[in-house]
Amino acid sequence: MGMRLALLLCVLCLVVSHTHAHGSRRDLGRSSAEQAVSTSPTTCPAGLGSGNKLPLVHRLSPCSPLGSGARKPSLHETLHRDGLRLRYLSKVQQAAAAAPAPSPSATPASGLSVPATQNVISSLPGVYDYTVIAGYGTPAQPLPLYFDFSGMSNLRCKPCFSGGGAPCDLAFDPSRSSSFRSLTCGSPDCTELCSSTAPCAFTFQNSTFVFANGTVVTDTLTLSTSATFEAFAVGCLQLDNMFIGHDGVAIGNIDLSRSRHSLATRVLGSSPPGTAAFSYCLPADTDTHGFLTIAPTLSDYSNAAGVKYVPLVTNPSGPNFYYVDLVAIAINGNDLAFPPAEFRANGTMIDAQSAFTYLNPPIYAALRDEFRKAMAQYPPAPAFSDLDTCYNFTGVDKIYLPDITLRFGNGETMDLDDRQFMYFFREHLQDAFPFGCLAFGAAAEENFLGNLLGSQVQRTKEIVFDVLGSKVAFVPSRCGLR
């Protein structure tokens, strides 16, 4: 059958630039950069897709449910969200480290049973950047949802007890669905401690505050009119304080992690051999389109130009997350002086929700020092929170940036372009094009000292998650290049 969903993204992107190779350097035309964020008319997907298309939009896009009313986050807010994300990841890792290592045949620690989520889901406000319109229930109620690797899919459900960010009128209404089922405590999918006839209820809380509560339910998930998943389990949130301070675009998330209940796991269970779990493209420009594909056929990539395969590795400190085997970083062709073991020590996670890339602190310091040497001709600008390598480009016509290359354990390399490693501040300051920062920071969260590849560094490549084959493919030719 080969269910294949090519999902259109319309994206409002923060960095717009053309690059032209000049030997080992690039220049960034000021005039192209000054085109800034295009406001050209965009065709927005309306409601559920037909055929096998599922619309996916950036939350700042004119196509987002908040439309043009969506407030742009300041850089500080973006950084704050990344900080919260790191804290979340570190807590999940701590919890996993404290728990006995799951054996492969045992019930995996799904999002439904990750104890650390009690405190930490609340730490996620606004970290997600892309929403997808998916249907839940029969008939399908179209809902704006994030996609992430958090280990559990959640929806805000009616009746709503109190407001986080999402308005209750967007929430899922179980009473209007004929296929809605509540799980009971006795169900194997319910990991909560409760009596066997009661609904499978959960509460996320710390000692002083309840972030959310709800029940685990199942219903039909509809990605498009031709792709549905019956009895898809989600946390149906009654009390939802998780997204306080969030823009309130989405009413939940679809989990694509390795968790037993994730959509990725479900897709793999029902797909023919030779199928990847999913792929996505996060384009770097406003006027290029990206996509999310569920269950893409692997042979489709064998002839794609520039495709590179990198092993996906598992990491006991985050068994539901996706890690790659990063072993070196080169700047202008010279590897930073760290052995592969140093890069591998705490792993390199791929995360679609943090904006920037975070490195183990000594590795980041070495990259920063080399970058500063290569950028010595430009006046520095003040640091902004986690981004401490910033420049004042006022009056500069062309910016010459060093090359940055990621090297992986199987010998593959990824050359980053400036749209992947530079963050320009057009959006946040009055000036047209005054500042830019290296979009990398130190993973300074005390329990997250590994590396994390954020969404910006993944832009311009289609990223194919071949979970069964334990590899991830980076496909530059199919992702939003102009």
Ligand X SMILES: *[C@@H]1O[C@H](CO)[C@@H](O)[C@H](O)[C@H]1NC(C)=O
- List interacting residues with ligand X (CB under 6 A): 122, 161, 201, 203, 206-209, 213-215, 238-239, 342, 345-346, 360, 381, 392, 394-395, 434, 447, 449
CB distance 301 to 288 below 8 Å = no
Q: How far is the CB of 405 from ligand X (least distance, A)?
A: 21
Q: Is 351 a catalytic residue?
A: yes
As measured in angstroms, the least distance from the Cβ of 170 to ligand X is 19
Is 148 in the active site?
Answer: yes
CB of 289 to ligand X, least distance (A): 35
Q: For residues 201 and 307, which CB has a smaller minimum distance to ligand X in the complex?
A: 201
Token pair 């179209």: residue: 142
Instruction: Answer whether 175's CB lies under 8 Å from 158's CB.
Output: yes
- Separation of alpha carbons 216 and 123, rounded Å: 21
| Residue 258 beta carbon to ligand X: minimum distance, rounded to whole angstroms | 21
CA distances from 313 to 98, 316, 343 (A): 20, 10, 13
Query: In terms of CB distance, is 262 or 348 closer to ligand X?
Result: 348
Report d(CA 9, CA 239) in Å as an integer.
31
Smallest separation, CB 117 to ligand X (Å): 13
Do strands 56-58 and 9-10 pair parallel, antiparallel, or not at all (unpaired)? parallel
In the complex, the smallest distance separating the C-beta of residue 432 from ligand X, rounded to whole angstroms, is 12
User: Per the residue annotation, which of 247, 351, 418, 466 is the catalytic one?
Assistant: 351
Q: Compare residues 242 and 294 and give the one whose CB is closer to ligand X.
A: 242
> In whole angstroms, what is the distance from residue 393 CA to residue 424 CA?
10
- Rounded distance between C-alpha atoms, residue 37 and residue 381, angstroms: 23
d(CA 336, CA 460) in angstroms, rounded, equals 24
H-only helix segments in 330-444: 340-344, 361-374, 418-421
Q: Please identify, using beta-carbon distances, which residue of 26 and 91 lies nearer to ligand X.
A: 91
Residue among 82, 129, 148, 417 flagged as catalytic: 148
Using the Cα atoms of residue 191, residue 193, residue 199 and residue 200 in order, give the sign of their dihedral.
negative
Strand order across the 334-335 sheet: 334-335, 326-331, 404-408, 413-416
Question: Closer CB to ligand X, residue 209 or residue 470?
Answer: 209
Q: Where are the beta strands (DSSP E) in 225-277?
A: 227-240, 252-255
Smaller CB distance to ligand X: residue 62 or 199? 199
Q: Which residues are catalytic?
A: 148, 351
